[in-house]
Structure formats: C-alpha cells, structure tokens
Amino acid sequence: MSKLIESLNETQKHAMAIRPKVSGFPVLAEIFRQAGVKMNRWSLPSCQSIYIMKDGSIVQQGTPLVTGTYEVPKFERESLIAAIRADQEDRSTFPEFLIATWNAGVIAYDADCRS
C-alpha cells in the first residue's frame, strides 16, 4: 500500500472518529482539507470516490448502487432535502443516504475541500 493511500485511510479513520452525528460533513471536509485533499468527487451510481490531493490522486471503489442499464431518477429537490435531513438527524446509515440521494436524482457530487 502506498504512503498516499495509507495517509488517506488514516485521515478517513480520524475524520469518522471525531465526526459529530449531526452536521458532520463540515467536519469531514475540514479534516480532509488539513490532510491535503483538494477535492472529493463522487459518482453515485458506481459508488466511486476520487480524492484529488496535493501529492496525487486516489480512487476508492465501493459497491455500486446499480448494475446494468438504468434510467436515472428524475431530480426531486424535496426528496434530496429529506435524505440530507435524515442523515443530519442520524436517522440513516451512509449506504441508506447514498441510495436516498440516488433515488432523489443525484448522480454526482464534487466537494471542494480547499476553502
């Protein structure tokens, strides 16, 4: 395992250990920023996350939400807000959050960690 991957793994462990159950995403973004992550790019259907870092880039491939050919759900703002609120209130697991956002029509997400 490369030093870059080890560094990201340790950063993720640290971020999850100190992330508050409510409104934890700003904490995660700040820990990633401090570790040199410039951007985190998610592709939701494939559950692929790319971390663009000061010393290189890493891809993490999770279990895809869908396989085969699917119609992308129509974007529904209210459903997305409900998914975010459920996550903020600790009423969903991370995999449930991903599925809920996909069902709300979200296909990708870019988080700029530099600001």
C-alpha distance from residue 64 to each of 11, 38, 73 (Å) = 23, 24, 16
Q: Which domains does the chain have, with CATH numbers?
A: 3-112 (3.30.1810.10)
Q: How many CB atoms lie within 10 A of CB 32?
A: 22
Length of the chain as a residue count: 115
pLDDT at 17: 87
Q: What's the CA gap between 15 and 75, in Å, rounded? A: 30
Residue 39 host element (H or E):
strand 37-43
pLDDT tens per residue across span 97-114: 899 999 999 999 888 877
Indicate the pTM of the whole model: 0.81
pLDDT at 107: 93
pLDDT tens per residue across span 52-108: 998 899 999 999 999 999 999 999 999 999 998 898 888 888 889 899 999 999 999
Distance of CA 42 to the CA centre of its chain: 6
Q: What is the mean pLDDT of residues 26-43?
A: 87
Using an 8 Å Cβ cutoff, are 19 and 28 in contact? yes
Going by the DSSP 8-state scheme, the letter that residue 1 receives in this structure is -
Using an 8 Å Cβ cutoff, are 81 and 30 in contact? no
